[in-house]
Each structure stands twice: as structure tokens, then as C-alpha cells.
Amino acid sequence: MNISRLSAFVLFWALMSAHFSAASTRDVRMTPVVRTVKTVAPAVVNIHTARIVEQEINPFGTLFDDRLFRHFFGDQDLTRRFEQRSLGSGVIIDGGKNLVLTNAHVIEGASTIRVRLLDGRQFDGELVGSDPDFDLAVLHLKDARDLPQVAMGDSSDMMIGETVIAIGNPFGFGNTVTTGVVSAMGRTIETKQGTFTDFIQTDAAINPGNSGGPLMNLAGELVGINTAIYAEAEGIGFAIPIDKARRVVEELVSLGRVQAVWLGLEGQDVDERIAGYLDLPENRGMVVTQVHEPAVDRAGIRPGDVIMAVGSVEIEDRGHYLRVLRNFTLGQEVRLDVVGQGGRRTVSVKLQPFTDEKALDMADRRWGMTVEARGRDLVVARVRAGSPAQQLGLKAGDVLVKVAGNPQASVTDFARAFKRYRMANTVMLLVARDGRGYHVRLRV
């Protein structure tokens, strides 16, 4: 073999070795995380929202409520308007139906929603349904075609220590990937918005803008929706399990909302006398005072029993009991830890629908009033004789402005407020009469 042929041969093998070496190195680098991101990233979207904020011009500041102030000036336009913009993340869960899953707080109050895909396409987003109690919302992308979608996983068999991947849009940087492990399952966190249960806890970084993005397992399956970070500690993030999100999505798509549920129980807080009588170590739980649903009655729960836990969440008081129940959907079966004269026991009860009609009927019996919408206002239609409403001095025709700080503009608003505060002994109302506003306490 002459020198020129030898040189060519050596060069050929050098090039081939470099090629196979590069290919081998690339194979090693193609980890499950890389494969998952390559597969899922096209289905992760950036959500840009704009909302028109209206602020009523009230020269008296907080001395008078804005809605009361409006009574003095009739229909004059005394508002100033400005636009607020925000961003978040979402994930396409059904490419055929153009459906995107995200957090409710990402699109709350949005007047316009714009969704951008990894491939650069942008679409207007229409709100299909949203529920703040679950912090989930479903969007429909207008005029979209050939959309990717993520594969749905199963969050019920997730393992502590399992590697997970969070993808989102933190700080507006576009799709960003963080990894970590599952630290815990079934976590409960308390926020200003309420009590949220059954969270996946992870140390994968979840930054502002990640909200609504997917939490993936190494099989490339959606196992959670990133939703919150714990502000008091570093490296603690939370995601809504996909099994729970799937139930919520079904109701949002079919009904546009999540039906309110209840167990059909009324109750009061545990005091020292009750705790001593039942030999409880502390004043905690909810004492059952009334049973309304046959399913609970068949489970053997009676007035005088104390609900100590709902699922894995220990109940502090009746208010906490109501907040925890808002984490469940219709038809779910929940486990209750109950203490009574027969000792401590565990029962399972299926949740029932808590309709507006049922709530309004209970409001008439418990609070003693009915309401109706008249124009832009919600007014008291009737006050029952001898009821807490009559003892307070309410009259037919009074304008009900707020219940426990929640604005009232419709009968649905009133039914929702009653569902939340039906067990309270005292409820603060803001009532307008003859153009003057009064804060009053309804004592039940």
C-alpha cells in the first residue's frame, strides 16, 4: 500500500470513528428527561392575558362603598379604566378539540387571552370554564388545526422520590424546563384563597409564570398541573394531580362549571365541654347538629358525632370543614373519621350535589330571607317573620350589596355565598336602603 492510499485509509477511519463516537455520545446524552421534553414541549403553551380594570372614582375613599357611592350619582360614568397584562403557562390536553388546561388564576378576569405555541403559532383563547376553588381553567383555541397534545398519565401511583419535570413560562422567557423529585403526595396548603388539598409536592423549581404548565413523569405523561410555590421556603413547589384535574375538566367542558357538592351535614365547633364529654385531646373537629342527606344517615352519622377528618385532612373547625369539601367533585366517595358515643370509627360517604335551589331554600329557613335581582342590584324580596333577618331589621326592598365581603349582583351570587357561610353564627352584610349604606351583622 503506497503512502497516499495509507493516508486516505487512515483519514477514512478517523472520520468514521469520530462519527460513531459523536453518535454514541449523543445517545448517552439522550436521557429520559431530554426525550420527555422533546416530546412534550410542542404541547406546552404560553398564555398572555389582558384585563380591563375599572376603578370607581370615590372622593370619600373607603368611607363609603363604591356601589353605595354610585347610588348618589345614578348612572353617571364615574370610573377610570386601565389595562393590566399578565402571563402564564398551559398545556394542550386535546389537540382534536383544541383544549388547553391551565390555572384559573392565570386567566382570572381576562378580557382577552392570547395563546402562543412553541412553533410560533398564536391563537385567541376562549374560556370554556373555570373554577377558582380548584384553580383550574379550560380554554378553547379559536381556528386552530393540527395541534399537538400531551399524553395523560395516572397520578394515583406516583412514587416518593420519582423524577418529575416541570415545563412552563417563568418570567416570560418562553418554555423553560426544571427537574426534581416527588417529595410528598396528598399535601394540604392554606392560602388567602382557601384550603387546597391533595397536592403533589415537588422540589422542581416552579417560578412565577410556571403556573398552569405541566408536571411530567419520565414516561412523558402528564401527572400534574403546576400551580403554586411556598413563599416561606425554597425548593418547595406544588402541583394539582392530573387525576383530580381530569374530573374537573370533565365538568368544565360539559357544564362550564364545577357543581357544588356537600355531605348534607350542618355543624358547630367543638368546645371544651364537648371535647371533655367525648374524651378528645383538644378542641378540634366539627360537631354534627343536623343530617340532611340519606346517604350520610345510612352511613350511621348522627347529631352529636364529631367529624375529625375528611380524607387525609384533619378538621380544625366547621369553617375548615367547608373549605376542605370544596376540593371534591360530584360522585366522589370521601372517608370520614368520626368520633361519637360508640367510639372512633371511619365511614365512607358519596358526595351529593348542593344545588342553588337547595341553598336558597336553606337560606330562607336559616337566615329568613329570599332575594331577587332587579336591574343591577340584588334586593331582599321577602323576610320571614321571627327569623334572624327580621330581628336584624331587614325589609323587603333593601339592596343586598355584599355578604361577608362578597359582592352580590345575582341570585346565584347569593346562593354561592350561603353555601360558603351557612354554618356561621354571624355574617356581615352590607345593605343599602334609601341610598344609604349600612354594615350589619346577621346573627343566626
> pLDDT for 19-74, tens place per residue?
656 556 667 788 999 999 999 999 999 999 987 766 655 555 554 555 555 555 55
- Which candidate in 105, 155, 337, 387 is catalytic? 105
Of the candidate ranges 83-97, 147-161, 253-267, the one whose mean pLDDT is the lowest = 83-97
- Is 165 in the same domain as 111? no
Question: Mean pLDDT, to the nearest integer, of 307-335?
Answer: 93
Per-residue pLDDT at 126 exceeds 70:
yes
Question: Mean pLDDT, to the nearest integer, of 126-155?
Answer: 95
**DSSP class of 204:** S
- Is 157 in the same domain as 136? no
Are the C-beta atoms of residues 295 and 349 closer than 8 Å to each other? yes
- Is 136 in the same domain as 187? no
Residue 11 in any domain: the answer is: no
Question: Mean pLDDT, to the nearest integer, of 302-321?
Answer: 93
- Is 157 in the same domain as 250? yes
- Is 375 in the same domain as 389? yes
Please state, in angstroms and as integers, the Cα–Cα distance from residue 234 to each residue in 27, 237, 311, following that order.
34, 9, 28
Per-residue pLDDT at 90 exceeds 90:
yes
Tell me the three state secondary structure of residue 174.
coil
Give 273 or 16, the one with higher predicted confidence: 273
Q: Is 71 a residue of the active site?
A: no
Instruction: Write down the mean pLDDT value for the chain.
Output: 87
Residue 66 in any domain: the answer is: yes
CATH number at residue 80: 2.40.10.120
Per-residue pLDDT at 307 exceeds 60:
yes
Are the C-beta atoms of residues 285 and 305 closer than 8 Å to each other? no
Last residue of a domain, one of 353, 376, 406: 353
User: Residue 340 pairs with which residues in a beta bridge?
Assistant: 343
Residue 32 in any domain: the answer is: no
Residue 87 in any domain: the answer is: yes
Last residue of a domain, one of 201, 232, 255: 255
Which of 112, 148, 97, 117 minimizes the C-alpha distance to 45? 117
Domain total of the chain: 4
Per-residue pLDDT at 388 exceeds 80:
yes
| Grid coordinates given for 171 | 418570567
What predicted TM-score, i.e. pTM, was given to this entire model?
0.81
Beta strand segments in 79-134, E: 79-94, 99-102, 112-116, 122-131
Last residue of a domain, one of 255, 281, 296: 255
pLDDT digit string (tens) for 103-120? 999 998 888 999 999 999
Per-residue pLDDT at 15 exceeds 70:
no
Residue 313 in any domain: the answer is: yes
Residue 2 in any domain: the answer is: no
Model confidence at 168, pLDDT cuts 50, 70, 90, reads confident
CATH number at residue 312: 2.30.42.10
Residue 28 in any domain: the answer is: no
Of the candidate ranges 14-23, 124-133, 218-227, the one whose mean pLDDT is the lowest = 14-23
- Is 426 in the same domain as 439? yes
Q: Is 135 a residue of the active site?
A: yes
Residue 210 in any domain: the answer is: yes
- Is 363 in the same domain as 327? no
Burial class of 440 by CB neighbour count within 10 A (0 to 12, 13 to 18, 19+): middle
Tell me what percent of the residues of the chain surpass a pLDDT of 70.
84
- Is 371 in the same domain as 384? yes
Tell me what percent of the residues of the chain surpass a pLDDT of 90.
64
Q: Is 269 a residue of the active site?
A: no
- Which candidate in 211, 320, 364, 413 is catalytic? 211
- Is 169 in the same domain as 246? yes
Which pLDDT value is given to residue 76? 60
Expressed as residue numbers, the domain containing 175 is: 151-255
Please state, in angstroms and as integers, the Cα–Cα distance from residue 144 to each residue in 91, 95, 136, following that order.
14, 9, 22
- Is 173 in the same domain as 136? no
CATH number at residue 212: 2.40.10.10
Please state, in angstroms and as integers, the Cα–Cα distance from residue 143 to each residue in 125, 289, 370, following that order.
10, 54, 45
- Is 349 in the same domain as 360? no
- Which candidate in 133, 135, 305, 398 is catalytic? 135
pLDDT digit string (tens) for 198-239? 899 999 888 777 889 999 999 999 999 998 666 555 668 899
**Phi and psi angles of residue 192, each rounded to the nearest 5 degrees, phi first:** -65, -25
- Is 277 in the same domain as 288? yes
